[in-house]
Amino acid sequence: MKKYIIITSIFEPTLAVKKFSELKDFNVVVVGDKKSPAQYNCDNVTFLPVTQSQGTELENILPYNHYCRKMLGYIYALRNGAELLYDTDDDNAPKDNFYIPEFDGEFHSLTGKNIFANIYKCYSDQKIWPRGYPLELLTDDSNNYDIDSLDIKKQKIGVWQSIVDNEPDVDAVYRLTSNELCTFKPGKPVVLNPGTVCPFNSQATAFKKELVPLMYLPCTVTFRFTDILRGLVAQPIMWKAGYCLGFTPACVIQERNIHNYLKDFESEIPCYLFAKRVIEKSMEVVSENKSVSENLLAVYCMLEKEGIVKSSELDVLKAWLKDISVSL
């Protein structure tokens, strides 16, 4: 299986990038932007400068200085034969136990009692939750998070997300009220049964080639919402296509870049307001009779009508779907 790691960065090669570049059997791509170094010197890394055209429609309409330009790295990987695309950031480094489980097999499987499940509770006793988890559920969560008591089922996984040690992906509410570091407990992978949702991000996430359309990063929403919205939209579509979302114990550690927590809070407001609505409305429009790409377009048409994304989002999405269609 040809595997690609895709990162975007405005810095010189970080320790995390260097560590990923040392992994065997992986190709590493770093996508540049206007603030990135003109020269990017790191062994075993392909750098895509902002001045380099790939001949895509997408590159002509994506905004500069925006996280969504990472999608150009996905296209590059796909055009170069990627069968697995691993999405991460330049401040997330692989641990010695770094791995990606098989995408088919028998796994401990979790069913949520209120649609959403807080996967962090499977690996930690701290009061901690992933960015994008509905705040109104924090005090009302009766799910079973004892991994060993979960049913073991044969599952077909479309996306694997690793938990991240030290500075996990939490929201600004957690940062402003607690901000404790977290070293998660070791354990076994956990798969969410269809109908159970947990937010997932773009920090340590492996996609099968068949689900590459779902890697689309919306560009008309806030920075702290873009990958969360992507993950929420993806899950109902995955279920209809016969795939599940899986999580692994921490095999990545984050030494977080500097953040302004109040600005993060402002950028995350759509996460707090729209997470449940995105899932509920998406479930109304996805269909088993549509392809992954067709369902994705249907969901974003709904999101535009709901006022969650702007009308220009549909133009960007269509360009993305056209650019990747040749390689799928």
Mean pLDDT of 260-265: 96
| Entry pTM | 0.96
d(CA 153, CA 105): 8
- With a cut of 90, say whether residue 255 has pLDDT above it: no
pLDDT confidence of residue 113: 87
- With a cut of 80, say whether residue 257 has pLDDT above it: no
At 248 the three-state DSSP class reads strand
Q: Residue ranges per domain, the chain?
A: 3-325
pLDDT confidence of residue 259: 86
Mean pLDDT of 102-106: 98
What does the pLDDT look like over 311-320, one tens digit per residue?
999 999 999 9
- With a cut of 80, say whether residue 230 has pLDDT above it: yes
Question: Residue 320 corresponds to which tokens in the numbers above?
Answer: 């993305």
* Sequence-distant (≥ 6) Cβ neighbours of residue 82 within 8 angstroms: 2, 3, 4, 27, 209
Burial (CB count <10 Å: 0-12, 13-18, 19+), residue 262: exposed
Please list the residues that pair with 165 across neighbouring strands. 253
Look up tokens 């790939």; give the residue: 54
Please list the residues that pair with 27 across neighbouring strands. 4
Instruction: Place 142 in a pLDDT band, splitting at 50, 70 and 90.
Output: confident
Mean pLDDT of 288-300: 98
pLDDT confidence of residue 143: 93
What does the pLDDT look like over 194-222, one tens digit per residue?
999 999 999 999 999 999 999 999 999 99
Instruction: Place 100 in a pLDDT band, splitting at 50, 70 and 90.
Output: very high
Q: Terminus-to-terminus CA distance in the chain, angstroms?
A: 15
Any alpha helices (H) in the chain, and if so which ranges? Answer: 15-21, 71-79, 172-177, 223-240, 261-285, 292-305, 312-325
- With a cut of 90, say whether residue 327 has pLDDT above it: no
Q: Does domain 3-325 have CATH number 3.20.20?
A: no
- With a cut of 90, say whether residue 266 has pLDDT above it: yes
Please list the residues that pair with 191 across neighbouring strands. 109, 246
Instruction: Place 169 in a pLDDT band, splitting at 50, 70 and 90.
Output: very high
What does the pLDDT look like over 128-137, one tens digit per residue?
999 999 999 9
d(CA 323, CA 295): 17
pLDDT confidence of residue 328: 84
- With a cut of 90, say whether residue 106 has pLDDT above it: yes
- With a cut of 90, say whether residue 114 has pLDDT above it: no
Mean pLDDT of 10-32: 96
| pLDDT greater at residue 53 or residue 140 | 53
